[in-house]
Structure 1
């Protein structure tokens, strides 16, 4: 949490002027229906959200060191924070995993109500063990207990040693986000949304059966992904903790170029072949039951949420879009032969 908070304060200016939440819900990787309504919240609510984020990521982590009650408060606040993030966006299993270490903030006395009481029950056994420990009684040392303590100590020393560059990274004004400092990848640095995109752009993949891609009467048909925005009237999906990796990658590709994302040309080749495995990652193949397209292209659009109660929303549209231009030009099988060969990719076979 601390790393995520620091990368924000050191990163995008909008985190410092408290305006990042004006954009986040609309421009996050895969918005959900709740994000649609939260995006249209009043400006003061977005300022409150940003301040709350800073408090939870920069201040609350230190509660762990301030005694039992504050540690419990830390755990409760962090779990509440993660639940809000889960409700307001499709961030895969990330937030669910973040809840797990927060559970360690709750001791036996705090969680005791979850277990049945009575003689011989688990809760009763734990209380007896705690009473024995309080009296100074210790279990006899065995080879197994010695081995376990040795392994625990060795692991603790290893983690402490591997944490040194991570801590130095946290203290550095040139903090690196989402990186590992050792081949074992046991201890890493993490920080989400250090920068917030202010506009949402989407790559829309289209195909046509027309022999001439430049013909004015060429009918281009959209491929639909399972979750990312495409069809303006399709409700944003709700999939957390599930993760559609291709949809996520398309979000990154949209604010870069296809030269930085050569895999999208590989995907275009698969679509030209009506490749069953590639199409299984999509929600809609406009050429299902037909011959594969002769051409596939990528179009670049700017997407914005429609306004609840507005004209577009009344038409059933969740999104409004405006074409920015081509993302990659129309491609045919013939165009891609050299491209695939130069990268030693298997050339797709039409199905």
Structure 2
């Protein structure tokens, strides 16, 4: 199973959340045990690693990040472009260079603002949230950007977020001010026994995070940095990174089926399966799905710049399409054999895709993409040809209805 970087990030963010909130109160603002500063700093440490890891992997990875040319390609070649990316791709070269410089500043410079006092920490939170919003607008990167906003919120204190709460009556804001005033005067009520237990738990939690961070820091400092991995089985403290390399050309695997008896017959009619979001039909508008994640569409993006031998699951998918299996067909948008007999043959074709020019699209041809065939991706297969392939991997052979 492919484990995505944002899924590790979700595990770590959720684990920190266990220690952020009180365990046994329904009060909007608990009387005792406000969030531990250890937990708040654990969230800040998380956003620091996310952004710095992403920045370092870029500088150490693809040369285009150092040449300031990566954004010339990114919008067109990212996993699942959206309509905004279609127009952003046509920005002038100097704007793409400016975008790259801003990216380096946000990922390599801004993370250190966390350690420069309250105001700079607040500025860090603002810049990171704004950056993530821009990424949401320009791409379909699943729930990654939305999730990254969560630890950024830990960069704000009560004074910075006070405007979000009502100041009338004894609302949440007045309750917080009351607690802070009592703490400042040293007149708070004696802490219950449970609070001491919580303090011990928080200190133990801090020691655990520090211990598990050691290999992560070593990885960040290493010239052989790896991204989106973990050094512990529970994925509590992970290393992150994104787009360490940028593909310069977009290729797509187009899966086709035919009812012809002979797959090599020049007169055979091959019909294309349509996926929910990834490019396929040239007239299909790029989708807008963030924060949703179409896992199959993303896997198809990876498969397109590898071989089918490196992605055997795509042959498994072909077998399911040959049988018109409902579960597999639910993952795609268009089945050309719906209401018909299943195809006799399925094949994969390899295409190079480019964005059409906006002027051409407006002229009425309706094409968002243009494409050129590269060649076959995997040869025509039928259920009989796949029998040995499936048996060798202990996969159940799909059966046609």
TM-score (normalizing by structure 2): 0.86
Contact 1:306 1:313 in 2 (8 A): no
What are the residue-to-residue correspondences of 1:7-18 with 2, within 5 Å? 7-18=57-68
Q: 1:141: how far off?
A: 3.0
Matched residues, number: 351
Between the aligned partners of 1:308 and 1:207, the Cα distance in structure 2 is 32
Among 58, 62, 78, the alignment partner of 2:108 is 58
* Aligned structure 1 segments of 4 or more residues deviating by more than 6 angstroms: none
Matched, 1:44 2:44: no
**Matching residue of 2:12:** none
Q: Look up the SS of the partner of 1:19 in the other structure.
A: coil
**Matching residue of 1:207:** 257
Q: 1:265: how far off?
A: 0.1
What are the residue-to-residue correspondences of 1:63-142 with 2, within 5 Å? 63-142=113-192
Contact 2:361 2:368 in 1 (8 A): no
Between the aligned partners of 1:63 and 1:311, the Cα distance in structure 2 is 44
**Matching residue of 1:182:** 232
Q: For the aligned residues, what is the CA RMSD?
A: 1.0
Between the aligned partners of 2:354 and 2:363, the Cα distance in structure 1 is 12
What are the residue-to-residue correspondences of 1:141-180 with 2, within 5 Å? 141-180=191-230
Q: Look up the SS of the partner of 1:309 in the other structure.
A: helix
Between the aligned partners of 1:33 and 1:341, the Cα distance in structure 2 is 43
Q: 1:25 to 1:311 in 2, by over 3 A?
A: closer
Between the aligned partners of 1:123 and 1:202, the Cα distance in structure 2 is 53
Q: 1:300: how far off?
A: 0.1
Q: 1:182: how far off?
A: 1.1
Contact 1:223 1:284 in 2 (8 A): yes
Between the aligned partners of 1:171 and 1:314, the Cα distance in structure 2 is 52
**Matching residue of 1:276:** 326
Between the aligned partners of 2:99 and 2:268, the Cα distance in structure 1 is 47
Contact 2:82 2:140 in 1 (8 A): yes
Q: 1:311: how far off?
A: 7.0
**Matching residue of 1:291:** 341
Between the aligned partners of 2:224 and 2:110, the Cα distance in structure 1 is 23
**Matching residue of 2:398:** 348
Q: 1:341 to 1:312 in 2, by over 3 A?
A: farther
Partner deviation per Cα, 1:150-190 (whole Å, 9 max, x = no partner) = 11111110010000000010001111111111112100001
Among 317, 341, 344, the alignment partner of 1:267 is 317
Between the aligned partners of 1:174 and 1:207, the Cα distance in structure 2 is 43
Q: 1:139 to 1:168 in 2, by over 3 A?
A: farther
Contact 1:7 1:191 in 2 (8 A): yes
Q: Look up the SS of the partner of 2:359 in the other structure.
A: coil
Between the aligned partners of 1:69 and 1:29, the Cα distance in structure 2 is 36
Q: Look up the SS of the partner of 1:207 in the other structure.
A: strand
Q: Look up the SS of the partner of 1:286 in the other structure.
A: coil
Q: 1:312 to 1:336 in 2, by over 3 A?
A: farther
**Matching residue of 2:25:** none
Between the aligned partners of 1:311 and 1:35, the Cα distance in structure 2 is 15
Contact 2:83 2:288 in 1 (8 A): yes
Q: 1:56: how far off?
A: 0.1
**Matching residue of 1:19:** 69
Gaps of 5+ in 1: none
